[in-house]
A and B are shown apart, each in its own frame.
Chain A
Amino acid sequence: MTMTTQAIQEAIVDEFSMFDDWMQRYEYIIELGKSLPIIADQYKTDANIIKGCQSKVWVHAEEEGGKIWFTADSDAILTKGIIALLIRVFSGQEPKVILETDTTFVDEIGLKEHLSPTRANGLVSMIKQIKMYALAFESKNTN
């Protein structure tokens, strides 16, 4: 049984509640960034790149058994750490669920500024891209 995106987000918020200050939160994000399964080189292509003004993000999606699996990478470690969290929420979910999920956890763990459209680190575009993949797979399946 797949955990619901809601449950995953609650689990993340729970994990972050253990930290007392921003430094600990950031250190954890950095650790997550280091442990993120890096996208296979063959997918780290220009077609998969999301260019932020500040950092670059690569996203690759594959469908298996009606669910979408994401791998991703970034050249900045903090961006990569947040990507790891986003992938935890979205990867392995059904397209419909992905489309319906709001990433409210980001706000709750005090990382809202990283998802600001003006931050230009590629994360907002990444979420858009994840939803686009979901939409594409969903419409492919219903046709």
Chain B
Amino acid sequence: MLDLHKIRADFPILTQQVNGKPLVYFDNGATAQKPQVVLDAITKYYSEINANIHRGVHTLSQLATDAYEVSRGKIQRHLNAKHAHEIIFTSGTTHGINAVANGFASLLRAGDEILVSAMEHHSNIVPWQMLCERTGAVLKVIPMNEKGELILSEYEVLVSEKTKIVTVNHISNALGTINPVEYIIQKAHEVGAAVLIDGAQATPHLKPDVQAMDCDFYVFSGHKVCGPTGTGILYGKEAWLNKLPPYQGGGEMIATVSFEKTTYADLPHKFEAGTPHIAGGIVLGTAIDYLNEIGFDAIAAYEHELLEYATQKLLQIEGLRIYGTAAQKTSVISFNIGTIHPYDIGTIVDKLGIAVRTGHHCAQPVMDFFGIPGTVRASFAFYNTKEEIDTFVEALHKAVMMLS
């Protein structure tokens, strides 16, 4: 059981009033709020040990380097990666995907195939389309059904010797579907294809085990797991990271540089050109510690309770349709009410202090699939409450009254 009172007290932003009403923050899928320990760790870093890392002999540089590497170790253990050097600090999920897509440019030939799913975020579509343009590879799409579940029988037909990489999200940002990634990975490996899992929406809700999953790459964003914006992780199996060329050139990623030839540094530095977001990387470790202290089993159980409660309450609103009704889903509810535009609903509930996402959620193909311009998306975190859901439902009734 979660101690909600204690947890909510950890998040200073939650006590705020917005538009004269107590803030109800249901846009956790976009970004999570930050607990005091994370805020304190940022201040502590800049007040006490700020220095550039991996290059100074002086004490502060050593302290900062140690803290950065300690954080890498925390994330390695969190993901159950085999080696710490398989953990690459990035600026976020998008950066991680682009680094891998870019690396594959040297490995693909015209006619090779890349498989994405029908429910990907634009950031897991566009880098692969760009890669196809560069290499002549072909992008194929694993379709989904009306419930927002991937059609695995179609996937089995699509995945072939031509497939070089399969890239799917662990959890869909627009629909909340939890995808059967283990099965997808296993099938891809049978034909020798690599698999990248976009964990941006999954990592706030569950603790991924990259070895059990056997994925080749796993990417996520720090800001969605209560860490700072501009941070993220690319996990890659050692063999793959060694095989891929570096994404960016610069300082830190080299072994030796001359005008004739440069040799690259070993992992993980090969993929970490330039001065990174040092404070961010360190504090991401603090955020992961915070979540692990609460415990992902407890988080998942409680969020599931919120999901069931909200689903049942929302469905009582006349004309409300939920998009994304997969058997396995996380605490995300995407919906529309009758023919009311999601923008109108989002605007009215904002006036009542409630933050939800409206629009296409950077997943236009998903919206096209359902033939809608967008949805209202409420995404719950472990610090949300049933009372907040009640407030939300009440606000929706008001919005419907005004708008219809």
Contact = CB atoms under 8 A, between A and B. Distances in A.
Q: Do A and B come from one complex?
A: yes
A114 B359 CA distance: 15
A30 B403 contact: yes
B348 A26 contact: yes
Interface string B330-366: 0000000000111110111001000000111000000
Contact of B373 (A56, A77, A78, A114): A56
A115 to B, nearest CB: 13
Interface in A54-101: 54-56, 75-79
Given A26-B402, A30-B402, A54 B343 contact: yes
Contact of B343 (A22, A26, A30, A121): A121
B374 interface: yes
Contacts of A30: 402-403
Contact of B403 (A56, A77, A121): A77
A22 B402 CA distance: 12
B344 A53 contact: no
Contacts of B342: 54
Contacts of A56: 373
A75 B372 CA distance: 11
Nearest to A23: B402
Interface in A1-45: 22-23, 26-27, 30
A23 B344 CA distance: 13
A141 to B, nearest CB: 37
B374 A54 contact: yes
Given A26-B402, A27-B402, A30-B402, A76 B351 contact: no
Given A22-B351, A26-B402, A55 B360 contact: no
A56 B373 CA distance: 9
Contact of A75 (B341, B346, B403): B341
B196 to A, nearest CB: 26
A27 B398 CA distance: 11
Residue of A23, A30, A53, A54 ringed by the most chain B CB atoms within 10 A? A54
Given A26-B402, A30-B402, A56-B373, A78 B359 contact: no
Nearest to A55: B343
B348 A76 contact: no
A54 B341 CA distance: 9
A114 B403 CA distance: 17
B341 A77 contact: yes
B344 A77 contact: yes
Contacts of A27: 402
Contacts of B358: 54
Contacts of B374: 54
Interface string B385-404: 00000000000000000110
Nearest to A114: B347
B373 A26 contact: no
B359 A53 contact: yes
Interface string B309-344: 000000000000000000000000000000011111
B148 to A, nearest CB: 22
A27 B348 CA distance: 10
B345 to A, nearest CB: 9
**Most chain B C-beta atoms within 10 Å of own C-beta, residue among A22, A78, A121:** A78
A120 B374 CA distance: 13
Q: Which of B344, B359, B402 has the most CB of A within 10 A?
A: B344
Contacts of A54: 342-343, 346, 358-359, 374
Nearest to A54: B343
B351 A78 contact: no
B358 to A, nearest CB: 6
B287 to A, nearest CB: 26
Given A23-B402, A27-B402, A76 B341 contact: yes
Contacts of A114: 347
Given A26-B402, A30-B402, A54-B374, A78 B347 contact: yes
Nearest to B358: A54
Interface of B: 19, 340-344, 346-348, 351, 358-360, 373-374, 402-403
Given A22-B19, A22-B351, A27-B402, 17 more contacts: A26-B347, A30-B402, A53-B359, A54-B342, A54-B346, A54-B359, A54-B374, A55-B373, A75-B341, A76-B341, A76-B344, A77-B340, A77-B403, A78-B343, A78-B347, A79-B343, A114-B347
27 contacts: A22-B351, A23-B351, A23-B402, A26-B347, A26-B348, A26-B351, A26-B402, A30-B402, A30-B403, A53-B360, A54-B343, A54-B346, A54-B358, A54-B359, A54-B374, A55-B373, A56-B373, A75-B341, A75-B373, A76-B341, A76-B343, A76-B344, A77-B341, A77-B403, A79-B343, A120-B359, A121-B343
